[in-house]
């Protein structure tokens, strides 16, 4: 999934910025769920999230905080079917 150019990203670990919209920010109940199901739940429970990004469990990701992004760390190898792979760790906004 490509990143949106209109993402409002903040310096690392700074969710206190007042420009960040409120809403649910973590989903521990989604660990073990399929990627497509997790994505739908996140977007339903926090409409401010417009970028749900899949990544394999061994991915190296930036520490740049984005108010409207959630990474789904998936239990699969590169090239797997992310929609049907399972969520490996708690999804959080950032």
CATH of the domain at 54: 3.30.10.10
Q: Name the pTM for this structure.
A: 0.78
Specify which residues 13 forms β-bridges with. Answer: none
Query: What band does 57 get if pLDDT is binned at 50, 70 and 90?
Result: confident
Tokens 């490996």 belong to which residue? 88
Residue 13 lies in a domain: no
What does the pLDDT read at residue 35?
93
How many whole angstroms separate alpha carbon 94 and alpha carbon 89?
Answer: 14
Residue 49 lies in a domain: yes
Residue 81 lies in a domain: yes
Q: How many CB atoms lie within 10 A of CB 27?
A: 20
Find the DSSP H helices in the chain. Answer: 35-45
Here the tokens at position 81 are 């079917």
Give the domain range for residue 45.
Answer: 25-87
Q: Is pLDDT of 17 > 50? A: yes
The most distant pair of C-alpha atoms in the chain lies apart, rounded to whole Å, by 37
What percentage of the chain carries pLDDT values higher than 70? Answer: 74
Residue 83 lies in a domain: yes
What does the pLDDT read at residue 28?
97
What does the pLDDT read at residue 12?
57
């Amino acid at each position: 999934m490509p990143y949106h150019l209109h993402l409002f990203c903040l310096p690392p670990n700074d969710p206190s910025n007042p420009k960040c919209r409120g809403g649910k920010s973590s989903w521990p109940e989604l660990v073990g769920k399929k990627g497509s199901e997790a994505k739908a739940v996140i977007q339903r429970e926090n409409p401010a999230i417009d970028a749900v990004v899949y990544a394999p469990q061994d991915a190296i990701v930036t520490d740049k905080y984005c108010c409207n992004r959630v990474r789904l760390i998936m239990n699969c190898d590169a090239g797997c079917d992310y929609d049907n792979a399972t969520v490996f760790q708690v999804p959080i906004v950032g």
